[in-house]
Structure formats: C-alpha cells, structure tokens
Chain A
Amino acid sequence: MPSLPTTSSPPSVSAQSPADLVEQIGDTPLLRLDAVAADLPDTVTVYAKAEHLNPGGSVKDRPALAMVRDGLERGAFGRDQTLIDATSGNTGIAYAMIGAALGLDVTLALPENASDERKKTLRAYGAELLLTDPMEGTDGAQRHVKALVEAEPDRYFYPDQYNNDANAQAHYDGTGREILEQTDGRVTHFVTGLGTTGTFMGVTRRLKEHRSDIQCVAVQPDAPMHGMEGLKHMDTALVPGLYDSSVADAHRTCTTEAAFNMTRRLAREEGLLVGPSAGANVASALAVARSLDAGVVVTILCDTGTRYLSDDFWE
C-alpha cells in the first residue's frame, strides 16, 4: 500500500476553525508508489504528488488560484469583468470552482469534444462555455478567446494560462517547495509531462535553486496523435510562452498505450484513480527510476480519474 511520508501535512479538516475553500488548495500528500515500483531496488524510491486530491480534482487548482489572485491584486481583474480563458478542461474546472467560491464570472473556451463529465462539471459550477472546433484542439480555443478579448478588451480579464508567469510561480511557491519539504530535500529526480508547462517550469526552478544537480526530466507524447489528454506534442502545437526547453536535463516521450496501461495499474494496484497524464508521468518516472542505482524520483498525479470514466481505456 502507498503510505504517507511522515512529513506530509495534517488532515485539512480540523476542529479549530472553518476555512475558505480556496485555502484548501495545495499542500497535497506525497505518496510512495509501492506495487507498480516493486521491481526497483530498495535504494530507489518513487513518490507521486497527489494533486488529484485538490478540491477541484486536479493540479490546475494551484495556477488558477494564483492567476486569479494576481489579477485581482494588480487590478487587472475588475469586479465587473468576466474571467475568460482557453482550457482543455482542468484549468477551466479550477477557474469555475474558484469563481463560484469567490463570486466571480467565468467564461471558458474548450474544444467541443471535451468529455461530457468535464462540460457538465463546468456548467454545474455556473461557468459559461464556448465550444470550439474539435479539429483545432486547444490551439483553436486559444485563438477564439484572443479574438473575443481583442474585440472587447474592457469586458474580460484574460489570464492566458499558457503565457502567465503566475502559473509557473504557483508551482515554484507551492508544488516545488512542498516536494523539497516532503522529501527532506532528498529528491534527486523530478519527472513530469508538459501541457502549459507551468508545473515543469515552476517546480524545476525551485528544485534547481535548492540543489542544481537535481535532474529534471520533461515528458511529451511520442506522436502528434495521442490519447493523453492534457499533454502537448510541442512540435505540432502552439508552444506556450512559459516554456523553455533548455531548463530540462533530459527529454522523454511516452506512448499512449504505456500511459493507459499505467493508469489502469495505478487504480487496481495502488488504489489511485487518476487520469492518463498521471499514468504517463508515473510510467516515465519508473523508466527513469529503473536507470538508477540509487535515488528519490518524484512525479505528479495531475488529475482524478473520475473525469475519464466514460473513456474506454479502463478495461
């Protein structure tokens, strides 16, 4: 069974005082992977940051909150404005949840072929949806939002998650710091997939400041046509402004089949119901771990598997 390291946070529900929903974002457990890592020597450990346990069900709660707070603090997000952004789903769900909790209007552009679970979740939080051409993917959703914002700049606050430094900063301030604390600074390798690249860029910057020899590995789909929702094949996509490929110590690719297989194993063998991008991360982290004689490898469980129950890869 995976176990919580002793340095993880105490349970967030306490008898002390009620707290705001958004204060529950972050400080996620770091779980040691056991069954799926059974072939590794005792000197090599793989940990997964359980980001699917954030209140919105994904790692995106962190950057969404950081970008909203940054906009409010800078005065860029006025109370009469509507937040608008393009999303593959998770950042949108985070914006919609935070918007509902803080009383902010949220409009999201996402490709029409996003799963029903995602669209229904977004609508349940009260967000307005703009469904864009499935053939254009999230790049098309981004172009749609840019056109709307250019036409009516005063109406919208457009965080632009692909190009907003507050996205990566959320991972520098939160995810990266927590990984150092929860491993007592013993982390030797960090492995994660690229989407907006905020997680990779922010965590890597934090870890490298702590110890420059921590190896940071970026993971991409092996091909333009893939099934790892949330991950970007950079050669055939709009490359986020946040991304600097030179900060990675190594680049890896993952096949959809390997990601689906690990996603199934995480559910059945570890009790972790997470999505395919988490499967890709763990499969890649284990591949890195198998190349080591000793080390502490950390990766990210990006989102909850409940968002993919209508997909057919579980069998």
Chain B
Amino acid sequence: MPTTEATTVTIRIPTPLRSATDGASTVEVEGTTVNDALRTLVDRYPELKDNLYNEDDELRQFVNIYVGDDDIRFGDGVETPLEGGDEVSIVPSIAGG
C-alpha cells in the first residue's frame, strides 16, 4: 500500500563511476520510479550525467539498470516503479580480456 512517507531507495554505484560520487559505493535517494531516482542522483552528482544520459536526455542504450535482480529492460524501463528499500544497481559492461 502506498504510504505518505517518501520512498527512499539505495542506488549502487559501480567502481568506474565512484570518482563522480566522492567514492561512495551506494547513494540513498528518494523516488517512486527508476527515472525519479536516477534524476535525483544525477542532480546531486552532475558528473554522472554524461555517463548515464545521451544528448537527447535519454538513458543511454548500453547503461544496464537493475532493480534488485531484475533488468529494467524486462520491466517498465525507466518507468519501473520503486518501493521503499529497493536497491537500484547501475551495472557496468565487462572490461578487458
């Protein structure tokens, strides 16, 4: 059931992006959809914006976002709803050898 409290979720930051989050591996934000949460993240850490969004301000095609263990591509994309306590992971591609 929806509550009147704001929805706080945890975003997990992959190692390559931690230089943009002052080293933080997780960031707590409020948001009721993946889009809300990521926009709040990018507002707080503007260096992340070009890594996550293209020049048309859309999530870049190759950026993998999971809610829990589920790829949002197989859900409602950036409109995937969030509940309090959800973990949103930004998963990097696999580098090198």
Contact = CB atoms under 8 A, between A and B. Distances in A.
Interface of A: 60, 86-91, 110-111, 113-114, 134-140, 161-162, 194-196, 198, 223-233, 236-237, 240, 256-257, 260, 312-313
B92 interface: yes
Q: For the side of the interface on B, what is the size category?
A: 20 to 34
Given A135-B15, A313-B62, A113 B94 contact: yes
* Residue among B64, B73, B90, B97 having the largest count of chain A Cβ atoms under 10 Å: B97
B62 A161 contact: no
B75 interface: no
B94 A229 contact: yes
Given A224-B16, A224-B17, A312-B73, A137 B62 contact: no
Nearest to B63: A225
Contacts of A237: 16, 95-96
B94 A227 contact: no
B61 A135 contact: no
Contact of B19 (A194, A195, A236, A313): A236
Contact of B96 (A113, A114, A232): A232
A138 B96 contact: yes
A196 B91 contact: no
In order of increasing CB-CB distance, the 7 nearest A-B pairs are A227-B62, A224-B16, A225-B51, A196-B97, A236-B16, A195-B96, A88-B94
B51 A137 contact: no
A87 B17 CA distance: 21
A230 B94 contact: yes
A197 B54 CA distance: 28
B97 A161 contact: yes
Given A135-B12, A135-B14, A135-B89, A230 B61 contact: no
B60 interface: yes
Contact of A137 (B19, B25, B52, B92): B92
B3 interface: no
Contacts of B25: 135
B14 A137 contact: yes
Contact of A225 (B16, B89, B96): B16
Given A91-B97, A232-B96, A313-B62, A223 B15 contact: no
A1 to B, nearest CB: 30
B95 A230 contact: yes
B20 to A, nearest CB: 8
A273 B15 CA distance: 31
Given A134-B89, A312-B73, A231 B63 contact: no
A174 to B, nearest CB: 17
A225 B19 CA distance: 12
Contacts of A110: 94
Nearest to A111: B94
Nearest to A94: B97
A233 B16 contact: yes
Contacts of A229: 93-95
A103 B94 CA distance: 28
